[in-house]
Amino acid sequence: MNLDFKIKNLLLICLIFLGVFNQYYSQTQDQPVFKTGADRPELYLPLLKGKTIGVVTNQTGLMSDKTHLVDFLVKNNIKIKAIFAPEHGFRGDADAGEKVKNGVDTKTGIPIVSLYGNNKKPKPDQLKGIDIVVFDIQDVGVRFYTYISTLTYLMEAGAENNVEVLVLDRPNPHDGYTDGPVLKKKWASFVGMHEVPVVYGLTIGEYGKMVNGEKWLSKGVQAKYTVIPMQGYQKMKRYPILDKPSPNLPNDKSINLYPSLCFFEGTQVSVGRGTGLPFQLYGSPWTKDLPYQFTPKPNSGAKDPFLNGKLCYGENLSNYQKDLRELNLEWVIKAYKDYKNPDQGFFLKNLWFDTLAGTDELRKQIIAGKSISEIKDSWKKDLEKFEKIRAQYVMYKN
């Protein structure tokens, strides 16, 4: 009797284990392994064999084993004529807005062409003899982050010079939601070329599809455009970055806060360039009621930081726990209300704030003392209009 009882118990344990295992197995089967476009060479190598190519990339163009895409392509006998480097350079160590020089990659001997400064759009002679340009850069998913502008100019040059553009898609750390004012055409610039909100909820591959499909390239030209999609990507999930996208976005926390804090770049308030916490704090010498103190000093990511050597009072947000799925206006409004400087206004005289916002309305609303809910309500109509455009180009499930 006792033996029967033990056998029954053993059978019951086995059945429970099998049930749990089957449930786990079916769940893992439903969720394919995540891969970036770069980690799916079986899809893009056949398109590149026998072709002469260019590559637009930087330090973020890594495969999951940390091999750089350029090294992988060279190893696979793909003929690369030129590496095109965006803002911050091929190795990603130039300051924001710093002129990046042309040169040669010491590892491979491939010429490097800067797509920043006076040469944001590849010239016909720089594309001569190239069949396809591969674009592989980790974007941040925010309108004023310039890699989408680099992609736009590349597509335009590709369309004009009969050169195909192939994007290896990567995650957007601000995917799955849209927020902020939609850019007005009058305010178009390299930090905002299209009528999209600050946070537009598309991967860089999807964004290029939208630019092409909506005929937003100059004179309505359309590029021959292909996206190598990610595998198992979910828009609402957050993926760790393999390398910092630029010197002053060193980690996931800075990227999380970036859409909300970047507005300070158009004011007399520092966002922590020249500290160990760029885009994780803010402050100025004229916001003395705020609790945190810091002094910007030159470092590798900011050779001459804003408010260099001046004691600033502000807030340290490096321990901010919320995964932002919205644009937070609380900090810029708080700093505006606390700002006391009789000699200089809060907003820079060159109205860079308006260029970042893509409109002059946000600045005027802050000055008028509008509440956050009133400001956000004023965006709704344009956001709804944009959502209808965006929906046509979404390649991945939420």
pLDDT, position 324: 82
Overall residue count recorded for the chain in this entry: 398
pLDDT, position 10: 61
Distances, alpha carbon 269 to alpha carbons 69, 263, 296, 365, 382, in Å? 38, 9, 11, 18, 29
The CATH number that applies at residue 177 is 3.40.50.12170
Q: Tokens at residue 211, please?
A: 């630019």
Task: Count the helices and strands in the chain (H runs, E runs).
Answer: 12, 12
Give the integer Cα–Cα distance in Å for 270 and 262: 10
Are 328 and 230 in a shared domain? no
Are 54 and 172 in a shared domain? yes
Are 210 and 66 in a shared domain? yes
Q: Which domain holds residue 134?
A: 37-240
Per-residue pLDDT of 10-38, as tens digits, reads 655 555 555 544 554 444 455 679 999 99
Residue 13 lies in a domain: no
Residue 308 lies in a domain: yes
221 three-state secondary structure: coil
Are 227 and 348 in a shared domain? no
Per-residue pLDDT of 262-281, as tens digits, reads 999 999 999 999 999 999 99
Residue 92 lies in a domain: yes
Are 151 and 289 in a shared domain? no
Give the integer Cα–Cα distance in Å for 345 and 268: 8
Are 325 and 198 in a shared domain? no
pLDDT, position 15: 54
Residue 28 lies in a domain: no
Among 199, 214, 240, identify where a domain stops: 240
pLDDT, position 398: 75
Are 350 and 219 in a shared domain? no
Low-confidence ranges of the chain (pLDDT < 50): 20-21, 24-28
pLDDT, position 16: 54
Residue 15 lies in a domain: no
Are 218 and 284 in a shared domain? no
Give the integer Cα–Cα distance in Å for 185 and 141: 20
Domains contained in the chain, number: 2
Give the integer Cα–Cα distance in Å for 58 and 93: 10
Distances, alpha carbon 76 to alpha carbons 60, 79, 98, 102, 213, in Å? 20, 9, 34, 25, 33
Among 180, 208, 240, identify where a domain stops: 240
Residues paired with residue 132 on neighbouring β-strands, in sequence order:
53, 164
Give the integer Cα–Cα distance in Å for 175 and 193: 19
pLDDT, position 118: 85
DSSP E strands, 126-237? 132-136, 164-168, 179-182, 197-199, 225-228
Among 207, 240, 273, identify where a domain stops: 240
